[in-house]
Amino acid sequence: MSFTRQLSEMSASELNDAIDDTNFPQAHILSRGRNNSVCSTSSTSGTSSLIDRALSHSEETNNAAPSPEEKGAISENATASPTTPASTNRPRLILKTNGTIPETDGTQPKTPMTPRTSTTPGHENCTFHHDLELDHKPPTREALLPDMARSYRLLLGGLGENPDRQGLIKTPERAAKAMLYFTKGYDQCLEDVLNGAVFDEDHDEMVVVKDIEMFSMCEHHLVPFYGKVSIGYLPCNKILGLSKLARIVEIFSRRLQVQERLTKQIAVAVTQAVQPAGVAVVVEGVHMCMVMRGVQKINSKTVTSTMLGVFRDDPKTREEFLNLVNSK
């Protein structure tokens, strides 16, 4: 059984847990010169060790010596095309699997199962749960509006306000609709947003889209944080429609979030979409929970980054990305 899985089969949360950055080809293997691109590393170079590690289990379980007939067939194939060049291998993520990969028949749900699901005792009749990702969704999120509006009405009463006064009569419903909009990312998935906008293209130079506006909700205080996102990746014969990078930001920012997780989820989603040689994401945010409450530091900004693949292994590649992001 192979220890690798196609990234397209993995959900964002599965990748978030399974990704192992240390198994990317190292910087001294992947020189970004035009005559030695990151996408054309030969199987006889340092990448072969990655494949050897990935296939070590299957090789250990198949130690039987070939029969004389098989040896003859192998020798004939070897002499038939002596000038055939070694096949090239695109760098791929090696996913941590703890030794086994469960077989799937296509019936398993694609969303990850968290400790609280519809099958958890005491939760059989719950509409939905939220624990980093939705386990099971309601028929429509609009169906939640009546309960949410009632909750906002109770909140107003708890603050000592009169929910029936003129200015607050429709506030619970408006607030419920606003919260559904702020968290609309829960209704979106990567496959729907990409909509087939992944294209085969012989391009292996850096692609950067920077200063993408981002609005999100702090999951600790339910107040906004906002800022900008810059994304870079090194394609391996696949490129992504530029607007889709901004839409990926929308998927994960329009949720209850922390900036650290948001940064990594964006990087993992880009990796899942086009399987590049590396992904880099930098997020700069202003958190209202630090501005309008608490320490009240109005000029503070939070910067987080996620570097995967050659962006982590190769200082020159990382420096090139950061220079492009910071240039005006």
Domain ranges of the chain: 141-186, 193-326
What span, in angstroms and rounded, lies between the C-alpha atoms of 263 and 306? 6
Q: What's the whole-model pTM score?
A: 0.62
Q: Tell me if residue 121 falls in helix, strand or coil.
A: coil
Question: What amino acid is encoded at 93 in this protein?
Answer: L
Four-point Cα dihedral 270, 54, 109, 222, nearest 10 = -40
Confidence of residue 122 (pLDDT cuts 50, 70, 90): low
Q: What is the pLDDT of residue 81?
A: 45
Q: What is the pLDDT of residue 221?
A: 95
84 pLDDT higher than 50:
no
Q: Which residues on neighbouring strands pair with residue 232, listed in sequence order?
A: 208, 280
The mean per-residue pLDDT over the stretch 108-121 comes to: 51
> Which of 54-68, 163-177, 258-272, 310-324 bottoms out in mean pLDDT, i.e. has the lowest?
54-68
326 pLDDT higher than 60:
yes
Instruction: Quote the percentage of the chain above a pLDDT of 70.
Output: 58
Kind plus residue range of the DSSP H or E element containing 246: helix 242-253
Please answer whether residues 278 and 310 qualify as being in contact, where contact means their C-beta atoms are separated by less than 8 angstroms.
Answer: yes
Q: What is the pLDDT of residue 123?
A: 61
Q: Which residues contact 268 (CB under 8 A, 6 or more apart)?
A: 12, 15, 16, 19
Give the chain's count of helices (H) and strands (E). 11, 9
Please answer whether residues 94 and 20 qualify as being in contact, where contact means their C-beta atoms are separated by less than 8 angstroms.
Answer: yes
Q: What is the pLDDT of residue 124?
A: 63
Q: Is 269 exposed, middle or buried (0-12, 13-18, 19+ CB in 10 A)?
A: buried
State the residue for tokens 């059984």: 1
Kind plus residue range of the DSSP H or E element containing 216: strand 207-218
What span, in angstroms and rounded, lies between the C-alpha atoms of 32 and 35? 8
Fold entry, domain 193-326: GTP Cyclohydrolase I, domain 2 (3.30.1130)
* Domain over 141-186 is classified CATH 3.30.2010.20: no
47 pLDDT higher than 50:
no
Angle between helices 171-182 and 145-158 (to 10 degrees): 120
Which residues form the catalytic set? 218-221, 259, 287, 289
Q: How does strand 207-218 pair with strand 256-257?
A: parallel
Q: Which two tokens stand for residue 244?
A: 């889709």
Task: Pick the closest to residue 110 from 94, 88, 133 (CA basis).
Answer: 133
